[in-house]
Structure 1
Amino acid sequence: MNAQHVDGVLVQWGERLFYPSNRIVKPLPTPRLDTLVQPKAAVIRQRIEAIVGRAPQVIVKVAGGGQGMSAIAAHFRYISMNGQLDIEDDRGVVRNGEDAVHDLVDQWRFGGSLIKNTGHRREALNLMLSMPAGTDAELLKKAVREFAQVELAGHRYVMVLHEHQANPHVHLSVRAEAISGQRLRPYMKHLNRWRETFAEKLRGWGIEADATRQAIRGENRAHEPLWRARDREAGVLRVHPSAPTAGPGTSRRRADAMLSWAHILKALSASEAASDRELARRVGSFIRDSSTFKEATHRRIGPEVSAPQDRTAARVNDRLEGRPGPGLDRG
Structure 2
Amino acid sequence: MSKVVDGIIKDWGDRVGYGKVKRGKKQRNIRGGKLDFGKAPPMVKRSEPRTRLKLTMQKAPEVMVKISGGGKSMRHIKAHMDYISRNGTVEIEDENGNLHLGKEDVRDVRDSWAHGKARIPAEEGTRREAFNIVLSMPPGTSRQAVKDAARAFAAERFGNHQYVFAAHDDEKHPHVHLAVKAVDKNGVRLNPRKADLQQWREHFAETLREQGVAANATPRRARGQVRKAEKQELIQMQRRGVEPAVKAAQKAAVVAEVRGEKPVLNPAQQRIEAARKETVQAYGQVAKALAAGDAEDRALAVEVVQFVQAMPPLKTAHQLAVEAVRARIAGKGGQERGTEGRERSGEDQDQGRKR
Do both proteins adopt the same fold according to a TM-score greater than 0.5, normalized to the shorter chain?
Answer: yes
Q: TM-score, normalised by structure 2?
A: 0.71
2:71 equivalent among 63, 66, 71: 66
Change (3 A) 1:236 1:276: closer
CA distance in 2, matches of 1:241, 1:166: 31
State the 1:43 CA deviation.
2.5
Question: Which residue of structure 2 aligns with residue 282 of structure 1?
Answer: 303
Q: 1:245 to 1:171 in 2, by over 3 A?
A: farther
CA distance in 1, matches of 2:67, 2:191: 11
Among 216, 220, 245, the residue aligned to 1:238: 245
User: Per chain length, whose mean CA-contact separation is higher, i.e. which structure has more relative contact order (CA < 8 Å, sep 6+)?
Assistant: 2
Name the CA shift for 1:263/1:292 in 2 (closer, same or farther; >3 Å): farther
* Structure-2 residue corresponding to 1:264: 286
Alpha-carbon separation, structure 1, partners of 2:200 and 2:60: 17
Cα contact 2:135–2:176 (8 A) shared by 1:
yes
Matches of residues 288-307 of structure 1 in structure 2 within 5 Å?
288-292=309-313
Shift of residue 56 of structure 1? 0.5
Q: Deviations over 1:126-164 (max 9, x none)?
A: 001001112111121111111011111211100001122
Q: Which segment drifts farther, 250-259 or 150-159? A: 250-259
Q: Give the whole-Å Cα distance in 2 for the aligned partners of 1:262 and 1:175.
A: 44
Residue deviations 1:26-54 (CA, integer Å, cap 9, x gap): xxxxxxxxxxxxxxxx9222211100101
Moved more, 9-18 or 201-210: 9-18
The alignment partner of 2:189 has SS state of coil
Give the one of 138, 141, 149 matched to 1:143.
149
* DSSP 3-state at the match of 1:62: strand
Aligned to 1:89: 94
Which of 101, 105, 108 aligns to 1:100? It is 105
Question: Residue 250 of structure 1: CA displacement?
Answer: 4.4
SS in 2 for 1:158: strand
Counterpart Cα distance in 2 of 1:88 and 1:261? 43
Q: Give deviations 1:162-211, integer Å, cap 9, x for gaps.
A: 12211111000011111111111110011000000000001011111011
Q: Could you tell me how far 1:3 is from its partner in structure 2?
A: 5.2
Q: Distance in 1 between matches of 2:195 and 2:135?
A: 17
Q: Is the 8 A contact 1:287 1:293 kept in 2?
A: no
Change (3 A) 1:249 1:68: farther
Matches within 5 A, 1:111-130: 111-119=116-124, 120-130=126-136
Distance 2:172 2:75 in 1: 29
2:165 is the alignment partner of 1:159? yes
The count of aligned residue pairs is 274
Please state whether the residue corresponding to 1:159 is helix, strand or coil.
strand
The structure number with the bigger radius of gyration is 2
Deviation at 1:121, TM superposition (A): 2.1
1:63 CA drift (Å)? 0.3
Unaligned regions of 5+ residues in structure 1, if any?
Answer: 23-41, 296-331
Q: Secondary structure at the match of 1:82?
A: coil
SS of match in other structure, 1:160: strand
CA contact (8 A) 1:222 1:244 kept: no
The answer to whether structure 1 residue 47 and structure 2 residue 47 are counterparts is no
State how far apart, in whole Å, the 1-side matches of 2:286 and 2:159 are: 38
The match for 1:307 is none
